[in-house]
Structure 1
């Protein structure tokens, strides 16, 4: 294997490991569910993606066959992580009954602020507007 490929693989693994560490730390230490979502959906996803890309480079560089499995896993991960975070956030909002858990670091103590339009947040109107039609 060439030294350039080894350096690139090592850099991707180290950067990926740092992102995974930061994302895991955020999941464990951030104060509320809505802030805790950022760790696994952003940082950890990038970290796992970096490790998978390093794997995609390693096997062909070491004489193995090129495989699209790592690329497909990376694409699937980058597509599903934000969608699942959105679904978790919506479920949390509905579970709390139009509010979210208090988070003094974000100045959210009494729930969600009123939206600028004066109505309700869009996530709560979906079921009602479909019944009105």
Structure 2
């Protein structure tokens, strides 16, 4: 039973990695590419690491994998946000239909 759960989590993680890669290749601009890559990479990595935790059982390696999961969960979205905000600050402002820049006040 443990092998089946581990395999399902690993395949799910690999699926999200694949979807993120397709998103990076197919999305039209940098902002949507960053969004697709960050969400899918975070979820894919977490699912793959959880499958490794199940494979190893409960020991010190599982604790280290859990710390890696927490680190990825915190740093990946934060880094993506900072990269996109830096790109936005160096680029021409994006306006909505009313001509108002929604991110300017953030």
Taking structure 2 as the reference length, the TM-score comes to 0.86
Task: Report 1:1-133 matches (<5 A).
Answer: 4-60=1-57, 65-67=59-61, 68-97=63-92, 99=93, 111-113=94-96, 114-115=100-101, 121-123=104-106
RMSD over aligned Cα, in angstroms?
A: 1.8
Q: Secondary structure of 1:37's match? A: helix
- Name the count of aligned residue pairs: 102
Q: In 1, distance between residues paired with 2:86 and 2:105?
A: 13
Higher relative helix content: 2
List runs of 5+ in structure 2 lacking aligned partners: none
Larger CA Rg, structure 1 vs 2: 1
The CA distance in 2 between the partners of 1:84 and 1:9, in whole Å, is 29
Query: Which deviations, in whole Å up to 9, do the C-alpha atoms of 1:28-73 show, x marking residues without a partner?
Result: 2211000001222101210111000000110127xxx342111111
Distance between the aligned counterparts of 2:21 and 2:34, measured in 1? 11
TM-score by length of 1: 0.70
Which structure exhibits the higher relative contact order, with contacts defined as CA atoms closer than 8 Å and separated by 6 or more residues? 2
Distance across 1 between alignment mates of 2:74 and 2:38: 11
Distance 1:115 1:91 in 2: 16
d(CA) in 1 for partners of 2:5 and 2:20? 22
